Chains A and B, each alone.
Chain A
Amino acid sequence: MDTALQYNQAARRASADADSENPMLEERAYPEETIGEPLVDNPKMSIRNVDVFYDRDQAINNVSLDIGRNEVVALIGPSGCGKTTFLRALNRMNDIIDTCRIRGELRLDDEDIYGSAMDVVELRARVGMVFQKPNPFPKSIYENVAYGPRLHGMAEKRHELDDVVESSLRKAGLWDEVKDRLQQSGTGLSGGQQQRLCIARSIAVNPEVVLMDEPCSALDPIATVKIEELIAELSQSYTIVIVTHSMQQAARVSHRTAYFHLGHLIEMNETNKIFTAPDHRLTEDYITGRFG
């Protein structure tokens, strides 16, 4: 038993030594450049040196990254790290906030998202968004999905509209559950169904990118699994950027993961790499639950 005791004492001494030196403080500093591989070849969206301010407060600090075609990118980080702000910058959702200013370059297929040639309404059709809480319009299920295509003049005739509604609901995995009650109100569906309805609504206008802001945080585990399955399927046809607080979810659904910390993009890498052997200490601390 003596040797066992010795080892335990040695272990305690070792951690006590380390506590007093605390050599890790420096490693927790922000890296000068994002660690990992934030850039890809032939990206769907490319973001370069972006800063976002609310009045004088800087919410995003010199972030550069690419979002690949048909890629699922997860943005993770502690509350207030700027991940939602960043997501909303991608389809100019921040425009509706007066105090918000953006600097830097954001491109969608080489078109300047903030350029004068960009029509915001069209942009938001091309870059759709699904929010944290399901927010169906207080209209019928059919109208919820048909609204966008009608607004954008994508379907003129009734049967065209019917087709769009059906295919969108099918893609969102909701068709079989609602096909017999399309005229009932969307708000009467369960939370998970409502969220899938919102996804159907955003894909009805045939977007290129779908932004999701914690799409499962208000859902139960089963509904969550359905949405996650859906994300995997949708990534065949769309590019997806998802903000999530659930690290397991990020690990399950995404190809690459970006870790934000107080407005800085610390590390972006293959999801598998981030969750088994991240390169930066801050990422490691966050995903292993060492922030207090």
Chain B
Amino acid sequence: MDKQHFGQHSSSQFNEELESIRDHMMEMGGLVEQQVGEALEALLTADSQRAERVLEQEKRVDELEITIDEECARVLALRQPAASDLRMIIAVTKAVSDLERIGDESSKIATMAITLAREGESPHGYMEVRHIGNQVRHMLRQTLDAFVRFDADKAVDIAEEDNAVDMEYRSAMRSLVTFMMEDPRSISSILNIIWSLRSLERVGDHTSNIGEQLIFMVKGKDVRHISVAEMQRELKDPE
């Protein structure tokens, strides 16, 4: 299946329905990506107004989730899609709930930003937040881009990137725990940073789930719960 595949049904209405699902999903993806970026900036610059805007945007993301789910249910009921159409609907429904969770994680980060702005900044951890934050933003952008282009190979890179994020997260955790032991007064503010890092790490996981759905949609192969190397083998295998 490829990007050109859309818009070729004998039923033009069906084309439009699928097109609309895809448009809404991309709108949602765009919003969520923006949310992650804004939440991160809000945290790094202790800008609580910016953080408030992230929380505000959450409503639109939730609305879009419902709209897309309704559209998918409608297509399933009325069109009985098969093969690539069916896979697209399944992949989108699952990807959309991951997107919504990414939105939730951004809101958590925004809440941490507000707390930190109010109660004083953490002495440590901002470098790690910036670093991991940039990594997951990059992952998310690549994933959404690949979703638009039906680029399943890209999804493998994304899974690899997620492994890197997990490693960074663990090492950041270790150093922050050390700081907390050295200076117990910093515990409450560093905890806010740790929770934000945890949220970013979760964003990475959700993003890599979306990548797996992308592979299912394009190649019809279920690559959940397997290693990156196995994933590469699956994609190479012609059968």
List residues of chain A with CB under 8 Å of any chain B CB.
Answer: 1-8, 10-11, 14-15, 18-19, 22-24, 247-248, 251, 274-278, 283-285, 287-292
Contact = CB atoms under 8 A, between A and B. Distances in A.
B48 to A, nearest CB: 22
Given A14-B149, A18-B3, A8 B23 contact: yes
A221 B23 CA distance: 35
Contacts of A6: 30
B113 to A, nearest CB: 20
Interface in B14-35: 14, 22-23, 26-31, 33-34
Given A276-B83, A288-B83, A4 B8 contact: no
Contacts of A14: 3, 148-149
B83 A287 contact: yes
24 contacts: A1-B31, A3-B29, A3-B30, A4-B28, A4-B29, A6-B30, A7-B27, A7-B30, A7-B145, A8-B23, A8-B27, A11-B3, A14-B148, A15-B4, A15-B6, A18-B3, A23-B2, A276-B86, A276-B87, A277-B83, A277-B220, A284-B83, A287-B82, A288-B9
B178 interface: no
A24 B2 CA distance: 9
Nearest to B57: A1
Given A2-B30, A287-B82, 4 more contacts: A1-B31, A4-B30, A14-B149, A290-B8
B203 to A, nearest CB: 15
Nearest to A248: B80
Q: Most chain-A CB neighbours within 10 Å: which of B4, B22, B34, B87?
A: B4
Contacts of B81: 288
Contacts of B87: 276-277
Given A4-B27, A5-B30, A7-B148, A275 B3 contact: no
Contact of B220 (A1, A247, A276, A288): A276
Nearest to B27: A4
A33 to B, nearest CB: 14
Contacts of B3: 11, 14-15, 18
A10 B151 CA distance: 13
A25 B86 CA distance: 23
Contacts of B23: 8, 11
A284 B88 CA distance: 13
Interface of B: 1-11, 14, 22-23, 26-31, 33-34, 80-87, 144-145, 148-149, 219-221
Given A8-B27, A284-B84, A18 B2 contact: yes
Contacts of B1: 284
Given A247-B82, A276-B83, A7 B10 contact: no
Contacts of A3: 29-31, 33-34
A247 B86 CA distance: 14
A10 B148 contact: yes
A5 B23 CA distance: 9
Contacts of B148: 7, 10-11, 14
B32 to A, nearest CB: 9
Contacts of B5: 290
A8 B33 CA distance: 14
B4 A24 contact: yes
Given A287-B82, A288-B85, A290-B8, A11 B2 contact: no
A275 B33 contact: no
Contacts of B30: 1-7
A289 B11 CA distance: 8
A229 B81 CA distance: 23
Contact of A290 (B10, B27, B219): B10
Contacts of B4: 15, 18-19, 22-24
Contact of B22 (A11, A23, A278): A11
A276 B81 CA distance: 10
Contacts of B83: 274-278, 283-284, 287-288
A168 B145 CA distance: 60
Q: Most chain-A CB neighbours within 10 Å: which of B80, B148, B149, B219?
A: B148
Nearest to B8: A290
B9 A4 contact: no
A19 B221 CA distance: 26
A15 B3 CA distance: 6
A275 B87 CA distance: 10
Nearest to B29: A7
A274 B31 CA distance: 36
Contacts of B86: 275-276
Contacts of A285: 8
B188 to A, nearest CB: 34
